[in-house]
Structures are given as structure tokens and as C-alpha cells.
Amino acid sequence: MSELGGLLPRDFYARAAHEVAPELLGRLLLREEEGPDGPLLLRITEVEAYEGAIDPASHGFRGPTARNATMFGPPGHLYVYWIYGMHHAANLVCGDVDESHGVLIRAGEVVQGRPRAIHRRPNAKQHTELARGPGRLTLALDIDRSLDGTDVCDPGAAVRVYRGTPLPASAVRSGPRTGVSKAHETPWRFWAADDRTVSPYRRHVPKKRAAQA
């Protein structure tokens, strides 16, 4: 398909996450699938940047663990983690090896393969809800920990990122990150202006107290 515009090269990711993040808006995330229907295609509309050792909100802040090992590897790979015991979230590893920079893919618009996304997300009332939010997005695209470490620059990979049509800077908005308890003031959430597939902002819920007996 010509609209894909070719794979984004690894160099694209080999920069600070907050530089890469806004340039990912409008790009196309391709999810390869078995069967005759061909791949799913998602146009990225919302992302958040996390920057390793200098960013207390990043999974990489306290150093490598079994879960976040992928973040400490080379850029251009997919970091998938399991959160709150019920959702997956997908990041693209940025920066250099050991820097543990990442860009969380928060939301997007399913532009191809929509019936399959609807099948996986029966609760979605409109197509704009199919991948509106990081947990919903991974559900719609059937992304889980088995895809952790996928090289999105590899033409044969199950998940890849294509150039698509990047958003002009004038159509990019930024603000505080969602659901993050630390470094809340850092405006490293980026989204496409006036796009209905962008998730609603939810500030961090300070704490959940167990009910007193």
C-alpha cells in the first residue's frame, strides 16, 4: 500500500523520547495477522514520552528489571507491559541503549481491519472508541506481552510503524501526562488537535484506601 510511505528507520527513534513523541502523531501502526483479511492499521493520535533515569514517572527510573528489560535495549523496539492486573500498554523504545526512553502509544484511529477491532472490543459504541486509551488500543490490536521486544523496523515483524502522514506542528497539542503520579507537571503528553479518538484526560487518583473494618 502506497499510503504507508515506508517503514520508519531506526534512526527516527534514536533520540530523546519527548522529541520523538510528537513526530509519531499521524504515523501508521501496522498489526500483522494470520488469515486472508490482511493487517490492521492504526493511525496514531495520542502519545506520551517517558525518559528513563531522569524521569521519576518512567518504568526505567529505578534501573532494569525483568519487566522493563526491553526499554534498556536498542531503539525501535516494542515494549509491552501488563498494568493494573488487567491491561496491556505498548511503548516504542527510544534513545540509545541503556537510556530506557519510551513513548507510550495512548490512542489511535483504526483505519483498516475495523471489523476485527470491533469484535475484540464489543463495548465500543463508536469506531472512535476502539483504540481510545492505551488499554483499549492493545486490546483492539491484540497486542500482549508475547510481542514485547518486537523490532518495529523489521519488515517481517508482527508490529511495524510506517511513515504515513505526519501531523504538522500546528496540529499538535501537548499537556501533562495522564494517570502519572510523579513529574505530573512535565508536558510530555502529545495529541492530535480536535481528534475524537484522543482519550479524555484523567488526572492521577492520589490513592485508593482500603475500606476500614
Partner DNA sequence: TTACAGATGAACT
Partner DNA sequence: GTTCATCTGTAAC
Binding test (CB under 7 A) with DNA, winner from 57, 94, 140, 161: 57
Q: Which is nearer to DNA, 39 or 134 (CB)?
A: 134
- Judged by CB under 7 A, the number of residues near DNA is 41
Interaction with DNA in 154-213: which residues (CB under 7 A)? Answer: 177-181, 199, 202, 205, 207-208, 210-211
Q: Which is nearer to DNA, 30 or 104 (CB)?
A: 104
Binding test (CB under 7 A) with DNA, winner from 15, 87, 114, 120: 87
CB of 7 to DNA, least distance (A): 23
State the Cα–Cα distance between residues 102 and 122, nearest whole angstrom.
30
CB of 1 to DNA, least distance (A): 28
CB of 136 to DNA, least distance (A): 4
Interaction with DNA in 114-133: which residues (CB under 7 A)? Answer: 121, 123, 133
Q: Per rule CB under 7 A, is residue 136 in the interface with DNA? A: yes
CB of 79 to DNA, least distance (A): 7
DSSP string, the chain: -GGG-SBPPHHHHSS-HHHHHHHHTT-EEEE--SSTT--EEEEEEEEEEEEGGG-TTSTTTT---TTTGGGGS-SSBEEEEEETTTEEEEEEEESSTTT-EEEEEEEEEEEE-HHHHHHH-TT-SSGGGTTBSHHHHHHHTT--GGGTT-BTT-TTSSEEEE---PPPGGGEEEEPPSS-SSSTT---EEEETT-TTSPPP-------PPPP-
Interaction with DNA in 92-111: which residues (CB under 7 A)? Answer: 102, 104
Q: Per rule CB under 7 A, is residue 54 in the interface with DNA? A: no
In the numeric block, the cell 483479511 is attached to: 37
What sign has the CA pseudo-torsion 80, 134, 185, 49?
positive
Please report, as ranges, the residues that interact with DNA according to CB under 7 A. Answer: 48, 50, 57-60, 62, 65-68, 71, 82-87, 89, 91, 102, 104, 121, 123, 133-137, 177-181, 199, 202, 205, 207-208, 210-211
